Structure 1
Amino acid sequence: MRSIRAAAVGAVTMSLALAATACGGGSSSGGGSGDSPKTLTYWASNQGASIAIDKKVLQPELAKFQKQTGIKVKLEVVPWSDLLNRILTATTSGQGPDVLNIGNTWSASLQATGALLPWDGENFARIGGKDRFVDSALGSTGVRGKDPAAVPLYSMAYALYYNKQIFADAGISKPPATWDELIADGRKIKAKGKSVLGAEGANVSENIHHVFVFAKQHDADFFTADGRPDFTNPEVVGAVKQYVDLMAEDKVIPTGDAEYAQNQSVSDFAKGKQAMLLWQSAASNLKAQGMSENAYGIAPVPVQSGTPGTGAQTNSMVAGINIAVFKNSHNVDGATKFVKFMTSDAEQKVLNTAYTTIPPVKAAQADTAFNSPSNAVLKSTLATSAAPLPQVASESQFETAVGTAVKDLFADAAAGRAVTTDSVRARLEKAQQQMPAA
């Protein structure tokens, strides 16, 4: 899921969607009533620094697909702040696209609506087979044991981006590997008059991604094994407090970042205002904002101790974008051909190069084009130390409820109000009360 995404809609909206789409939903035709089967509508997610950049990337590829198949694709790039709400509205109204991008963390929630085409063995065979895709990406396509609700399109992972000049000026020779090292480096950086670590405290989705990782590092989960929310267990409370304490106690995140929303921390980092940034596959975004690749380094996200790995050494969610088909499209055959095109080896190289993301298709990922030092960090993270967010039907409500709780805790920290174990637990208890009944 792209980190520029704003908050997902709340539990009431999703509950309505689940109730209204028990028999499925989606596009009323291949692009709307009256459209030819030779036309598809496609909602693409905003992957680049602007919608205009996305159109510049995608339109030549859609023209290529039309030349190959005779099928025209009507493109709409939907901002992350609107995408989930638009999708849920489409599942209830029956008026939606044929093909759409979804944040991979939404896969299980949207799967539960019954609106998306299941990718069973037969459908996967039509696009070259399930075994073409890497396992980590397939792990975020829906509930385990069920046919996936979508197909991996772009893979991403969080990394630590650091400004080489600011580090050199502060006498720091290497990026921090643990949170204690990051806090110690922060003291040296602040002594030189620079801000330390950028965050987007008002960005609900960014909040949930980070506290999920901290929870994993505390060997904790937000849900029990049978899918019940467990937001107030002591390990989860401690994980959320540790993240918010980067502002409240450790003073490495500026208090002004409590109000930061979509993409603001990237802008600050690109302008040299902050020394470090935790972000998903940021190279294309930083380049678009004028930051040279030579100006920054990339390293794994810090862990509690030692080095990143499985279990409690998790340092990223499995981030990414999936591509899905509304199952009541009147042109499922054409939509499937489009998914096959977008996930073909050749197209995966084109698209993931443009967005500086990692192909979830094995053959494309192995291409030398994706062997840069920065990609090496991201590929290693996805292969060894990333975990998928909970693949449960209430995942989108979880993002909203807990992400908002963290937003409120950052607001407390910025206002000088104490962030305590009790106050964190109270916010998380309120979030848990907002979750739908099992």
Structure 2
Amino acid sequence: MRSNRAAAVGAVTMSLALAVSACGGGSSTDGGSNDSPKTLTYWASNQGASVEVDKQVLQPELDKFEKQTGIKVKLEVVPWSDLLNRILTATTSGQGPDVLNIGNTWSASLQATGALLPWDAKNFDKIGGKDRFVDSAIGSTGAEGQDPAAVPLYSMSYALYYNKKMFADAGISAPPTTWAELIADGEKLSKDGKWGLSIEGSNPSENIHHAVVFAKQHGADFFTADGKPAFTSDGAVEGVKQFVDLMAKDKIVAPGNAEYAQNQSVSDFAKGKTAMLLWQSASSNLKTQGMSEDDFGVAPVPVQSGAPGTGDSVNSMVMGINMAVFKNTDNVDGATEFVKFMTSDAEQKILNTAYSSIPPVKTAQADAAFNTTANAVLKDTLAKSAVAAPQVADESQFETAVGTAIKELFADSAAGRAVTTESVKAALEKAQQQMPTK
């Protein structure tokens, strides 16, 4: 059932475009603090096409919360380019918000700072219980064996988006299910100034998401069981090379994509410049840019062979946004009440509809709004074939080091320099040397 408010947010959805990813970094500034125990400060991540669009989506819901509880929420929407460093500055200074959104891949790193409220059984009971949330989302809330550092708010997964008309014109009857098929299709589609696939080669976060998946498909992890970096294992090297080779060897990605860092690949796909796109929950973004649901199809990200699943057939990271509470808040009860409100079934339907994401709350997922063909692919991926980011304390450093190494490999490819097994291994070795020593 959709309320009038949900319908209104659905209209706002037409002006939304998802942010590039659930991770980021940039410059830092001072955080806010409470004006009074009846006021909460909230840093929201930029999920929409702009900060202003996010305010249009969120402010009516915050007003609703104030009407219900008497607690005012002061909203600041923080761009992804600033969010991680803003948070890290707040964890060391103690001058942060009461409640904040975090990229779920940062959960273990921020948990290790000790600045976030642990979500033990008692705290989860205050918001209806831990078992309300799907397992894949809970698996991206902190290190295994510890109480979660955050609560899932929005869930996303990667999918393969493809242009139906371009496929039909090239005589391709179905989306590829393996990388070999994707390359073969990409070669047919890369002609007349158009390209088979678009990527964001200059975006370290996007690079990491794909690198984790490609490594998994080669039987590798970037960290050992005891949390030590293993960036130069054969599988990790093979996985990163296969990803970069989409441009370097297979030549189905435009060399200019080596400089893409902020939604340009989505824009190229929406404009018909490329026929395929690997992206997180992109339907709302694409519709914002003029594509109708009839223009594009949504399929699982390809695997090496067979069907997506666990083990070597993982085809996405578990992406999304978590909601955390700073431990030093003056109003733990109010902050917890706000998390309960934002993760309620009603709000989950409104917010995830607006952002074209999937509710991490089981009962909200059952709503008809999340049972479209596109969402079925995303939900199935999250349930069956997605893997959490490495839940290690140094995960954010890993994203920066390896993501930047891959960015440099794409730059080599675009400049005509050879990308070899040896050069990939050397780049990953350099990245591993940048990791903190224990």
Q: Could you say which TM-score interval applies, normalised by the shorter chain?
A: over 0.9
Q: Shift in Å at residue 6 of structure 1? A: 6.7
**In the alignment, is the contact (CA less than 8 A) between 2:22 and 2:320 conserved in 1?**
no
Shift of residue 399, structure 1, vs aligned partner? 0.3
Where 2:102 maps in the other structure, the secondary structure is strand
3-state SS of 2:291 partner: coil
> Separation in 1 of the partners of 2:24 and 2:115?
22
Letter in 1 for 2:319: A
Distance in 1 separating the partners of 2:424 and 2:319:
26
CA distance in structure 2 between the aligned counterparts of 1:425 and 1:282, rounded to whole angstroms: 32
Distance 1:310 1:198, change over 3 A: same
Q: Who is 2:10 aligned against?
A: none
- Tell me how far 1:4 sits from its aligned partner: 3.8
1:294-373 equivalent positions in 2, closer than 5 A: 294-373=294-373
Please tell me whether the aligned partners of residues 137 and 318 of structure 1 are also in contact (alpha carbons under 8 angstroms): yes
Partner of 1:79 in structure 2? 79
The answer (yes or no) to whether the contact 2:23–2:106 under 8 Å persists in 1 is no
Query: Is 2:161–2:298's contact at 8 Å kept on the other side of the alignment?
Result: yes
Q: Distance between the aligned counterparts of 1:167 and 1:185, measured in 2? A: 8
User: Do the aligned residues in 2 keep the contact of 1:104 with 1:322 (CA within 8 Å)?
Assistant: yes
Matches within 5 A, 1:239-258: 239-258=239-258
* Mapped pair 1:38 → 2:55: no
Q: For residues 80 and 59 of structure 2, what CA distance do their matches in structure 1 show?
A: 19
> Which residue does the alignment assign to 2:90?
90
> Match of 1:266?
266
Corresponding residue of 1:112: 112
Alignment of 1:3-402 (within 5 A): 3-4=20-21, 7-8=24-25, 32=33, 35-191=35-191, 193-402=193-402
Q: For residues 267 and 190 of structure 1, what CA distance do their matches in structure 2 show?
A: 17
Using the TM superposition, give the Cα deviation of residue 330 of structure 1 relative to its aligned residue in structure 2, in angstroms. Answer: 0.4
What one-letter code is carried by the residue in structure 2 that aligns with 1:294? D
Q: Give me the whole-angstrom Cα distance separating, in 2, the residues matched to 1:246 and 1:62.
A: 44
What's 2:4 paired with? none
Q: How far apart, in 1, do the equivalents of 2:326 and 2:293 lie? A: 39
Q: 1 CA distance for matches of 2:330 and 2:95?
A: 12
Q: In the alignment, which residue of structure 1 is the partner of 2:14?
A: none
Which segments of 5 or more consecutive residues in structure 2 lack a partner in the other structure?
Answer: 1-17
Q: Distance in 2 between matches of 1:193 and 1:425?
A: 33
Instruction: Tell me if structure 2 keeps the 8 A contact 1:299–1:377.
Output: yes
Cα distance in 1 between the residues matched to 2:393 and 2:127: 26
- Deviation, 1:5, is 5.7
Residue 2 of structure 1: CA displacement?
5.8
Tell me the alpha carbon deviations over residues 129-165 of structure 1, each in whole angstroms, 9 at most, x when there is no partner. 0010000000000001000000000000000000111
- Deviating 4+ runs (over 6 angstroms): none
State the secondary structure of the residue aligned to 1:329: coil
Instruction: Name the residue aligned to 2:7.
Output: none
Aligned length: 420
User: Shift in Å at residue 286 of structure 1?
Assistant: 1.3
Which amino acid counterpart does residue 105 of structure 2 have in structure 1?
T
Aligned to 1:22: none
Contact kept? 1:120, 1:147, Cα under 8 Å: yes
C-alpha change, 1:215 and 1:311, in structure 2 (3 Å) is same
Deviation at 1:217, TM superposition (A): 0.4
Q: Say if 2:209 and 2:317, in contact at 8 Å, map to a contact too.
A: yes
Q: Residues 101-133 of structure 1, C-alpha deviation per residue, up to 9 Å, x if partnerless?
A: 000000000000000000000000000000100
Q: Distance in 2 between matches of 1:304 and 1:32?
A: 50
Say if 1:108 and 1:392, in contact at 8 Å, map to a contact too. yes
Cα distance in 1 for partners of 2:193, 2:43 equals: 44
User: How far did 1:3 drift?
Assistant: 3.4
Amino acid at match of 1:364: A
**CA displacement at 1:421 relative to structure 2:** 0.6
> SS at the partner of 1:145?
coil
- Structure 2 counterpart of 1:92, which letter? T
Tell me the TM-score normalized by structure 2.
Answer: 0.94
1:17 matched residue in structure 2: none
Q: What displacement does 1:8 show?
A: 3.4
How far apart are the structure 1 equivalents of 2:368 and 2:22? Answer: 30
Match for 2:20: what amino acid? Answer: S
Which is worse superposed, 360-369 or 373-382? 360-369
Letter in 1 for 2:224: T
- What SS does the corresponding residue of 1:182 show, helix, strand or coil? helix
8 Å CA contact retained: 2:22, 2:104:
no
**One-letter amino acid matched to 1:32:** S
Give the conservation status (yes or no) of the 8 Å contact 1:155–1:357.
yes
> Contact 1:310–1:385 (CA<8 Å) still a contact in 2?
yes
1:407 aligns with 2:407: yes
Distance 1:433 1:56 in 2: 44
Distance 1:209 1:401, change over 3 A: same
Output one character per residue of 1:340-391: Cα deviation in whole Å (capped at 9) or x when no partner: 0000011101111111100000000112221000000000000000000100
2:420 alignment partner in structure 1:
420
Q: Which amino acid aligns with 1:392?
A: V
Look up the equivalent residue of 2:294 and give its one-letter code.
N
TM-score when normalising by structure 1: 0.94
Q: Partner of 2:146: helix, strand, or coil? A: coil
- Distance between the aligned counterparts of 1:306 and 1:92, measured in 2? 47
CA RMSD of aligned residues (A): 1.6
The separation in 1 between residues aligned to 2:159 and 2:358, in whole angstroms, is: 13
The whole-number CA distance in structure 2 between the counterparts of 1:76 and 1:286 is 26
